[in-house]
Amino acid sequence: MLMRDQRVRSDEIELAVRVRGEDHRPTVVLVHGYPDTSAMWDEVAERLAERFRVVAYDVRGAGASSSPSDPLDYRLDALMGDLEAVLDGVGADEPAHLVGHDWGSVQGWEAVIGDRLRGRIASFTSISGPDRRHMARWARQAVRSGPRGVAEVLGQARRSVYMPVLMAPKVGEAAARVLSAGFPRVMAPREGAEPRSGHPADTLATDARNGLGLYRANMGRRTARSGGHADRADEGRTDVPVQLIVPIKDKYGSQPLLLSARGPVSRLYVRRVPAGHWVARSHPDLIARWVTEFVEHIDGGPEAPALAHARAAGEPGKDFGGDLVVVTGAGSGIGRATVRAFADAGARVVVADIDEGAAKRTADEIAAAGGEAHAYRVDVAGADAMERFADDVRDSFGVPDVVVNNAGIALAGSLLDTPEEDWARIRAINVDGMYRGCRLFGRQMVERGEGGHIVNISSMAAYLPSPELPAYGATKAAVLQMTECFRLDMDRYGIGVSAVCPGAIDTPMTGRTRFVGLPPSVDGELRERMGRAVERRAFPPEKVARAVLRAVRQDTPVALVTAEARLGRALSRVSPTANRALARIGRRAGDRIRTNVERLHD
């Protein structure tokens, strides 16, 4: 691979620039953040240089570049001058593709929103560095939206608590010394990395101190505009295609903040990665692949399916835009409401149910509303059927981003009256079906390496004992515990796992619940009475669906949907004795109802 180091002058500053790859190829410029040097990009740059000319430089005050005489001369307009000088110095006659991380991304936003470099940037990939205008707009809208938005802003404020520390005189210098003591491991060269003149950690203490100017010159007050642009810049609008790479484990930027470009950016692509802030170091293959797909498409190549998904995810107001969501038991009830809610949020959905007609009706409803839905008949109790289903979904549409294991049945009556075949069937559907959904689709998500989320529908019966629901309660308790264990297992891959525990919900399952050990007439009467009671409760499946989407957004371990579900969970933890006493009261009431029904049918 061709590689050369050179010096580029920007007024009083000399910038250290490294160029990889052949000069006739499209130019990709990599800009690092604080307190990094361009070495942060080494692994990504090596991979990109196979197809592009890759330019990486130490920003002013970092690495081998010189520092300004004025410690506050780190304003964005000065940094734009540096970027312009680099483009000129390497002979970037055609528009270049910009990739920025952290403060490098903040610079990138200034380049594509302002007028100074208009026409010189072909595309921009932003990693963990929101634009200041987008950030302010997001905060205003979030606060106005209500309690949830206020909580998001406060959550981001906690993540950003280091900023005023770095801006404060003397305190910032002390913080920089602490930072430089713990940061070398992030900058440690990977095995087999290209040789450099001087290890990046050698300048870290100076870089951390110099870089305080980034915060002090640009934060806390309205900064000068580049090139005199007005309303356009105030809103943060740009026509330059932008790819947002959002590390979902970033400790410094929340997802709502990092997604704040939705709206002002007309051509936005969003990709999430299960990684932390320095994702370019931890996932260089993935970052290089995504940048390559994006740059080649912007330069006239075809849009890869994954990139089309990313484009849909960039649409404002569509939290699951372009995502592929699989829901089992989606022909009716909670599953139907859930798959429709995901479709309304922009997702492509797979509607799976043992009742093929019900699945098709649900899919047709979604399609009529303008969504994309695909119906499948699958019996989750069949191991071979689930294997074929998972393979077919992957081969036809790709790896799902979200899977909701919802298919289930209910069975009531004493354990003494529960036949082997009924026990085997409820276990096969309620437990084995969810196990297969977790294992098969979870494997696909792990192999893809881009995260995902799995939701298992449990029940308050998982922790509220009932003599009338021993089989159902046992299966739902198994689902809850399996979900808790699976969540711990999948966390290492950046895949979320949630259990959702509804209470009494008005769904068709109630009317299909069979009471074992009773004559058919008594069984039917009890079903009707239970159905009327649940209908009076008036808690629709759409509320459960909203809880499912919220659990995915917030990566909630266990979501308790109804008041009775929350009360039962609290009692099971605080006073198991009280929980059992409540179950005994329910048993006596149930016995009276059963006795009255049996008398009616004698």
Q: Considering only CA atoms, which of 480, 311, 495, 491 is closest in space to residue 403?
A: 495
What is the DSSP track for 415-472? GGG--HHHHHHHHIIIIIHHHHHHHHHHHHHHHHTS-EEEEEE--GGGTS--TT-HHH
Q: Compute the distance between CA of residue 43 and CA of residue 461 in angstroms, rounded to an integer.
A: 51
Q: Compute the distance between CA of residue 280 and CA of residue 163 in angstroms, rounded to an integer.
A: 23
Look up residue 15 and give its two tokens: 């910038």
Q: Compute the distance between CA of residue 359 and CA of residue 353 in angstroms, rounded to an integer.
A: 6
Q: Which amino acid is at 493?
A: Y
CA 376 to the chain's CA centroid: 26
Q: Compute the distance between CA of residue 312 and CA of residue 320 in angstroms, rounded to an integer.
A: 9
**Cα dihedral: 465, 471, 477, 479 (round 10):** -160
Q: Compute the distance between CA of residue 257 and CA of residue 405 in angstroms, rounded to an integer.
A: 30
Catalytic residues: 472
Look up residue 173 and give its two tokens: 């210098």
Q: Compute the distance between CA of residue 527 and CA of residue 515 in angstroms, rounded to an integer.
A: 8
Q: Which amino acid is at 350?
A: V
Strands 348-353 and 242-247: unpaired
Q: Considering only CA atoms, which of 299, 300, 319, 183 is closest in space to residue 246?
A: 319
| 359 neighbors 330 (Cβ within 8 angstroms) | yes
Q: Considering only CA atoms, which of 282, 279, 296 is closest in space to residue 51?
A: 296
Q: Considering only CA atoms, which of 374, 524, 361, 559 is closest in space to residue 453?
A: 559
CA 247 to the chain's CA centroid: 8
What is the DSSP track for 85-152? HHHHHTT--SPEEEEEETHHHHHHHHHHHSSTTTTTEEEEEEES---HHHHHHHHHHHHHH-HHHHHH
The DSSP H or E segment spanning 376 is strand 372-377
Q: Compute the distance between CA of residue 338 and CA of residue 330 in angstroms, rounded to an integer.
A: 8
Q: Considering only CA atoms, which of 266, 283, 262 is closest in space to residue 274?
A: 283
Q: Compute the distance between CA of residue 521 and CA of residue 422 in angstroms, rounded to an integer.
A: 19
| 21 neighbors 1 (Cβ within 8 angstroms) | yes
